[in-house]
C-alpha cells in the first residue's frame, strides 16, 4: 500500500482509498504510524496536521525534516513511543541524526538519540537552511555526542524564531545547545528553553550566540524576549580546560540597532551547578536574572561582562549564589543603560560590584554559607537564618513568576536570595 492509500485508510477507510486513487480529494490530516523499515517514506510525505508516531525500535538512517511545514492551526508532529520500549535513533557518520531544513510549525517529541561517539550533531537546523520557525523539541533523550566539543545536542545554524525546547535530557555531549552561528548571522529569536537537564558537557551546556541585524524574513517588530527557565545546567570533571574552557551558559548580545535591539533574556528558576574551569553564567546585552540558584564549588558564579558587546540593561535579583571564586562580576556596563543588582544572597570568595550595588545585597564569605543556609554541603540552600539586604531598586514584579521562589512557592517575606525563608526542607535542587 502506498503513502496516499495509507493516509486515506487512516482518515476514511476503504471508500477513501478509492477516492484517493480516482478523484484525488483534498488532503486531510492523519494519524500515521511507521517503524524502522518504513518511516522515511512516510516522513517525506507529511502534510499539515499530520501526526506520525514512530514505533519502538532502532532507527539507523536518521530523520530528515526538509521542507516539511505545518500551519499555526495544523502543525506537523513526529513523536516516538513513550514508555520502557522507546524509539531510538542511532547516529551515523556523515549526517546529523535529526536534520532540519526550511520548516515551520513542526513538533518533535519522545525520541532517544544515541551518538555512539560519531562526529555529528544530534539535532541540527542546518546552515544550508533559509529558516526554521515555530519548532518544538520536547522530551528527547540525547547522549553520547562527545567526539569533540564541536558536537552538539541541539544546534541551530540558520535564522530561527519562536522555538520551544522543553523537558529534554542531554548528557555526555561536546556542547549541550548551541543556538545561532559564531559570526552572529543566524539569530535565535524569541525562543523558550524550559525544563531541560543538561549534564556532562565538555563545553557550553547552553550558548545563545550574539546577533547581527535580523534578516527581513523574521517578521517581528515589537520588543520581545527569549525565556530560559526551570532548567538544570550542570558540569563536572569532563569539562574542557585551557582555551576550550567554557561557562555553563553564555548569552550573547541582541542586534545593536534596529529590530531586536530592545529584546532581552529572561532567565529564572534555573539551577547552575559546578564548573571546574569557568564561570557558571556569562552574559552581555539586555538580561534579567531572578530566582536562580548558582553553585560553583570550584570557581566563579555570575559574570556580566563584555564579550562581543557589553552589559546593557541588567536586572539581577533574588538569586542565591554560592561560589568559591567571584560570586558576581559586573564589568564595563553601558553607562547609558540601567543596571539593577539587588536582593541577592551571595556567599563567595569575592564580589566585584560598585558599592551602591554591593550594598543592596546580602553578601557573605564563601565559608559563611554553613552559618546561614540549612545544609550547603547537601545543596539545601534555603536560609536557616534571615538573609537581609540593604535598600536597592525594587525588581519588576510584572515579570513572570517574580513573586515565586526557586521552588515555585509564593514569596511572603522581603528577604534576599532565591528561597522563601522557613520553607519545608526539600530534596537538593537537582532536576535530573
**Residue 178 in grid coordinates:** 548551541
Q: Is a pLDDT exceeding 70 seen at residue 23?
A: no
For 32-383, CATH gives 2.160.20
Residue 225 · residue 197 · CB < 8 Å:
no
Q: Is a pLDDT exceeding 50 seen at residue 16?
A: no
pLDDT digits (tens, 9 = 90+) for 61-84: 999 999 999 999 999 999 999 989
pLDDT digits (tens, 9 = 90+) for 91-118: 999 999 999 999 999 999 999 999 999 9
The band of 431, judged by pLDDT with boundaries at 50, 70 and 90, is low
Half-sphere exposure of 381 (CA within 13 A, CB side): 30
281-286 mean pLDDT? 98
Q: Mean of the per-residue pLDDT values for the chain?
A: 91
Task: Look up cell 520536547; give the residue.
Answer: 138
Percent of the chain with pLDDT over 70: 90
Adjacent-strand bridge partners of 184 = none
For the chain, the domains span 1-31, 32-383
pLDDT score of 28:
62
More confident residue, 154 or 398: 154
In DSSP notation, 57-81 reads EEE-S-EEEES-B--SSS-EEEE--
pLDDT digits (tens, 9 = 90+) for 228-272: 999 999 999 999 999 999 999 999 999 999 999 999 999 999 999
Q: Is a pLDDT exceeding 80 seen at residue 5?
A: no
In DSSP notation, 276-294 reads SSS-SEEE-EEEEEES-EE
Q: Is a pLDDT exceeding 80 seen at residue 423?
A: no
pLDDT score of 280:
98
The band of 19, judged by pLDDT with boundaries at 50, 70 and 90, is very low
pLDDT digits (tens, 9 = 90+) for 175-230: 999 999 999 999 999 999 999 999 999 999 999 999 999 999 998 778 899 999 99
Please, which residues have CB within 8 angstroms of residue 399's CB and are 6 or more apart in sequence? 266, 268, 288, 290
Q: Beta strands 339-342 and 103-109: pairing type? A: unpaired
Q: Where are the alpha helices (DSSP H) in 333-377?
A: 355-358, 369-372
Q: What is d(CA 131, CA 118) in angstroms, rounded to the nearest whole number? A: 26
Least confident of 1-5, 18-22, 115-119, 320-324: 18-22
pLDDT score of 387:
87
Burial class of residue 130 (count of CB atoms within 10 Å of its CB; 0-12, 13-18, 19+): exposed
Amino acid at each position: 500500500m502506498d503513502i496516499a492509500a495509507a493516509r486515506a485508510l487512516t482518515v476514511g477507510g476503504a471508500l477513501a482509498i478509492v477516492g484517493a486513487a480516482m478523484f484525488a480529494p483534498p488532503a486531510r490530516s492523519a494519524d500515521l504510524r511507521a517503524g524502522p523499515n518504513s518511516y522515511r517514506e512516510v516522513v517525506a510525505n507529511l502534510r499539515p496536521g499530520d501526526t506520525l508516531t514512530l514505533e519502538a525500535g532502532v532507527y539507523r538512517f536518521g530523520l530528515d525534516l526538509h521542507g516539511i511545514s505545518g500551519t499555526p492551526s495544523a502543525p506537523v508532529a513526529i513523536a516516538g513511543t513513550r514508555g520502557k520500549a522507546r524509539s531510538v535513533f542511532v547516529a551515523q557518520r556523515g549526517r546529523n541524526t535529526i536534520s532540519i531544513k526550511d520548516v515551520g510549525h513542526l513538533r518533535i517529541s519522545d525520541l532517544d538519540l544515541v551518538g555512539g561517539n560519531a562526529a555529528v550533531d544530534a539535532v541540527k537546523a542546518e546552515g544550508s537552511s533559509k529558516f526554521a520557525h515555530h519548532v518544538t523539541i520536547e522530551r528527547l533523550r540525547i547522549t553520547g555526542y562527545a567526539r569533540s566539543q564541536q558536537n552538539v545536542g541541539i544546534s541551530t545554524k540558520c535564522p530561527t524564531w519562536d522555538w520551544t525546547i522543553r523537558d529534554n535530557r542531554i548528557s555526555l555531549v561536546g556542547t549541550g545547545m548551541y543556538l545561532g552561528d559564531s559570526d552572529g548571522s543566524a539569530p535565535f529569536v524569541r525562543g523558550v528553553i524550559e525544563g531541560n537537564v543538561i549534564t556532562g558537557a565538555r563545553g557550553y551546556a547552553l550558548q545563545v550566540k550574539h546577533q547581527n541585524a535580523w534578516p527581513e524574513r523574521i517578521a517581528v517588530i515589537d520588543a520581545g524576549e527569549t525565556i530560559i527557565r526551570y532548567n538544570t545546567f550542570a558540569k563536572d570533571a569532563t569539562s574542557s580546560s585551557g582555551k576550550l574552557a567554557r561557562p555553563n551558559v553564555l548569552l550573547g548580545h541582541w542586534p545593536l540597532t534596529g529590530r531586536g535591539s530592545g529584546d532581552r533574556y529572561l532567565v529564572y528558576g534555573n539551577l547552575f551547578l559546578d564548573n571546574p574551569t569557568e564561570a557558571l553564567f556569562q552574559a552581555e546585552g539586555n538580561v534579567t536574572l531572578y530566582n536562580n540558584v548558582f553553585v560553583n564549588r570550584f570557581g566563579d558564579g555570575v559574570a556580566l561582562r563584555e564579550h562581543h558587546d557589553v552589559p546593557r540593561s541588567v536586572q539581577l535579583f533574588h538569586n542565591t549564589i554560592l561560589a568559591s571564586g567571584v560570586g558576581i562580576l559586573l564589568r564595563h556596563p553601558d553607562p547609558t543603560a540601567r543596571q539593577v543588582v539587588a536582593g541577592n544572597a551571595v556567599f563567595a570568595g569575592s564580589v566585584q560590584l560598585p558599592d551602591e550595588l554591593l550594598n543592596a545585597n546580602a553578601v557573605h564569605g564563601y565559608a559563611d554559607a554553613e552559618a546561614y543556609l540549612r545544609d550547603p554541603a547537601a545543596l539545601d540552600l534555603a536560609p536557616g537564618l534571615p538573609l537581609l539586604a540593604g535598600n536597592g531598586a525594587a525588581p519588576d514584579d510584572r515579570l513572570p513568576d517574580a513573586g515565586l521562589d526557586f521552588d515555585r512557592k509564593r514569596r511572603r517575606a522581603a528577604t534576599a536570595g532565591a528561597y522563601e525563608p522557613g520553607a519545608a526542607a526539600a530534596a537538593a535542587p537537582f532536576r535530573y
